[in-house]
Amino acid sequence: MLQLLAYLHDSELVARFQRGCGLVLVEATNHSRGGTRAQTGTPGARWQGDHQDKNSNYTQKENGHAAVDRSQPQYEVKNWLLHFLFLLSAGLGHEIFYITCLPCIHWSLDPFLCRRLVNMWTVVMYVGQVMKDILKLPRPRSPPVVKLEPRVDAEYGLPSTHAMAATAISFTLLLSAPSRLQFQFEVGLLIAVTLSSLVCLSRLYTGMHSVLDVICGVFISLTLTFLTYPYWETLDRFQLTSPISPVVALFLPLLLSYTYPELDHYSTTRGDTTTILGAGAGCSIGYWVNVQLGQTFEPQEGLPVPLPALTGGALVRTFARFLVGVVAVVGTRQVVKTLSLRALYSWYSVPKSDDSARRRREIEVPSKFVTYTSVGLMNSILVNRVFLLLGLL
């Protein structure tokens, strides 16, 4: 059993998958910074693989300290179709997807489904992030692996939270939708398996996780989904009707953010986890407020309802809602983030030029929590009311 686990966690297994997909490590004698094309004259395009984020120079612990990796090996892309497919699939687990596309389920389909997704996404991601920093298993080594997302290389590997989120979102939607929408379950199952599989494979292609990380991520997510499934209705009633629901929704995530496990080097996991908990808290409070105001924007009769017809007018309204909604939530994010950081820098007497102060817990946690709680409130309460004013519902 230990040999099997070691094999599944082996970096060379990931490297073989990358090579099979046309992503090949190039031995270079001179690694320069800057993300430029390497002038080599061999088939395919060779790129300097250094996309180092200024806030994430730390990569891997060595001798009890965080090592600083200031260069990445060059790589060659031989199959651009798979390259872009897997990069797009990996993007389904990043903030840009969560803050733009995921709320569209609320705006254009059914707030009920979005509420279920947000609840499970928050639980699954918190469990996955905490497990990473408790187990402390390293990510694949480079070389032999090509790493395409060095920003998160300081994080530990097991489990893959991309795999966990994709699995939770796909199967929560699949389990929740039959009571709300008319669709062929087999088609939904095929879509859920396909999307979650693409995200899982993308974590191998980008070199950020081992096969063991991905398998454990999928297994943990499925286990959490099916263990909590019998209690979803009970949670719905509490979340929407209990007078203490907004108090629990606000203070429990805030407590979990402040008590997140400490590491001996900086990692993006605490900040990312606070982001998730804040967004979940904001959405939960927003759904409770909507019930108190008597306007939830959910279909009330004739459930399950047919899927909306894809007419030209419907597509135009959907696209308009997407633009207005994204401007609202992204604008909220930028404004609240800026104001919260200014207030915290002033409170702790930190120079405005000190970007590294954002990593301190007393600044990172409240700033991110307030920012994304505001984003959740905007998404769940205000955006649909803006649609009503603009005649987009």
Domain count, the chain: 1
Q: Residue 8: exposed, middle, or buried by beta-carbon count in 10 A (0-12, 13-18, 19+)?
A: middle
Q: Is residue 337 part of a domain?
A: yes
The C-alpha atoms of residue 384 and residue 378 are separated, in whole angstroms, by: 9
Q: Is residue 57 part of a domain?
A: no
Q: Is residue 50 part of a domain?
A: no
Q: Cβ distance 72 to 51 under 8 Å?
A: yes
* β pairing state of 74-77 and 181-182: unpaired
In terms of phi and psi (left: phi > 0; alpha: psi -120 to 50; beta: otherwise), the region of 302 is left
The C-alpha atoms of residue 289 and residue 295 are separated, in whole angstroms, by: 9
At 384, the amino acid letter reads: N
CA atoms within 13 A on the CB side of 227: 8
For helices 232-241 and 245-258, the axis angle rounded to 10 degrees is 110
Hey, CA dihedral for 246, 125, 119, 331, is it positive or negative?
positive
Q: Is residue 31 part of a domain?
A: no
* Alpha carbon 365 to chain centroid, angstroms: 17
Q: Cβ distance 321 to 108 under 8 Å?
A: yes
Q: Is residue 362 part of a domain?
A: yes
Hey, CA dihedral for 205, 211, 215, 217, is it positive or negative?
negative
* Whole-number pLDDT of residue 244: 97
End-to-end CA distance of the chain: 56
The C-alpha atoms of residue 46 and residue 38 are separated, in whole angstroms, by: 6
32 beta partners: none
* Whole-number pLDDT of residue 327: 95
* Whole-number pLDDT of residue 27: 67
Hey, CA dihedral for 60, 150, 215, 165, is it positive or negative?
positive
The C-alpha atoms of residue 87 and residue 80 are separated, in whole angstroms, by: 10
* Whole-number pLDDT of residue 47: 41
Q: Is residue 67 part of a domain?
A: no
Q: Cβ distance 271 to 261 under 8 Å?
A: no
Q: Is the peptide bond before 366 cis (omega within 30 degrees of 0)?
A: no
60 beta partners: 67
Q: Is the peptide bond before 143 cis (omega within 30 degrees of 0)?
A: yes
Catalytic residues, by residue number, are 162, 209
Q: What is the pLDDT along the chain (393 residues), one digit of tens a residue?
A: 888 988 899 999 999 999 999 999 886 434 433 333 333 333 344 443 433 333 334 334 443 333 444 455 688 899 999 999 999 999 888 888 888 888 889 988 899 999 999 999 999 999 999 999 999 999 999 888 999 987 777 788 899 999 999 999 999 999 999 989 988 999 999 999 999 999 999 999 999 999 999 999 999 999 999 999 999 999 999 999 999 999 999 999 999 999 999 888 888 889 999 999 999 999 999 999 999 999 888 887 778 888 878 888 889 999 999 999 999 999 999 999 999 999 999 999 888 888 888 889 999 999 999 999 999 999 999 999 999 999 887
113-149 b/e (C-beta count within 10 Å ≥ 16 → b):
bbbbbbbbbbbbbbbbbebbbeeebbbbbbebbbbbb
Q: Is residue 361 part of a domain?
A: yes
* Whole-number pLDDT of residue 43: 35
pTM over 0.75: yes
The C-alpha atoms of residue 228 and residue 250 are separated, in whole angstroms, by: 21
Q: How many CB atoms neighbour CB 266 within 10 A? A: 18
294-304 b/e (C-beta count within 10 Å ≥ 16 → b):
eebbbeeeeee
**257: its two tokens:** 């953010």
The C-alpha atoms of residue 123 and residue 280 are separated, in whole angstroms, by: 9
* Whole-number pLDDT of residue 267: 83
Q: Is residue 332 part of a domain?
A: yes
* Whole-number pLDDT of residue 159: 94
* Whole-number pLDDT of residue 319: 93
Range of the domain at 14: 2-22+79-138+157-390
